[in-house]
Amino acid sequence: MTGIGRSVRAQWALLALVPVCITAPATHAAWRTVASAGLHDTRVAEADSDTLGVNLGLGLFYAGAANLSGQTGIIAHYDNDIDQLDPDHDPFWVMANGSLSQPIVSLDHAGVTLGWQAEVSWLQNTVSGVEEALQAQLGIVLDYQRQADAVGLAMGGGYYGLEFDDDVPEARGYSREALQRSSDALAWKLFFQRSVKTALSWDGYWQQWRDQDNWLENRLFLAIHYPVVHPVMNSLNVSVSYTRYNLAPYRVQGKAPILPWDENVLFRLYAEIPLAW
């Protein structure tokens, strides 16, 4: 199987750790580490397929001087792959992300903040046929916050890379060279956060990536968090992530689409476990 420039991928994988490597003096920084464990289901409706599995995650959060904040995390998944959408699917797959942000202008009386943000996300080897996806973005964020409730818009530009696994596309007449595309891209994200009765909270976003001519990917995400009093874990959580890819740029005239489906939904039920190092 090929990759989106292995050396490039390695560089961006290191960049995903930047939020936890750029630090203010230790006396001004606050760190928080959280582990997670849970179950998941990848739903591909066009194939009437559900793939159940288990997952483990680790997240690191940082808040430093001058309101500089960052986070990075990785989640490893193991699938019980019964449907075999990809005949040669490795049941182990991972996703990772990192971000770093800082406000530039704050209007405290109005609850409005304008700042900058850098983000990197990466995933590999999904059951729905994505061999690798890598996105990196630098942009501005406009945020309105009132107590624990917030809504905002992030806009920026960066890099977008996507590669499909070779098994299903080759059966449809596509060569390995046709499986991979990467380009400069623009991205916007509308995000929100809401607390209900100080106990239940939820957050989410709607994000789109575009090149000069087309949309590349749409993603909707929603997570609900319920705090619990327990000696080990501190919350129970459920998240839903819907992703749709634009397959038109990959299509070769006279052939079927590169994949029989263009969307998937990832459900995750998990507990968060605070760690004290």
What is the model's pLDDT at position 247? Answer: 95
64 pLDDT higher than 70: yes
Q: Does 10 score more than 70 pLDDT?
A: no
* Lookup: tokens for 262: 């263009």
The pTM of the full predicted model, rounded to 2 decimals, is 0.86
Q: How confident is the model at residue 13 (pLDDT cuts 50, 70, 90)?
A: very low
Cα dihedral sign, 84-86-87-90: negative
For the ranges 6-15, 19-28, 223-232, 249-258, the lowest mean pLDDT is seen at 19-28
Separation between Cα atoms, residue 173 and residue 125, nearest integer Å: 21
pLDDT at 197: 62
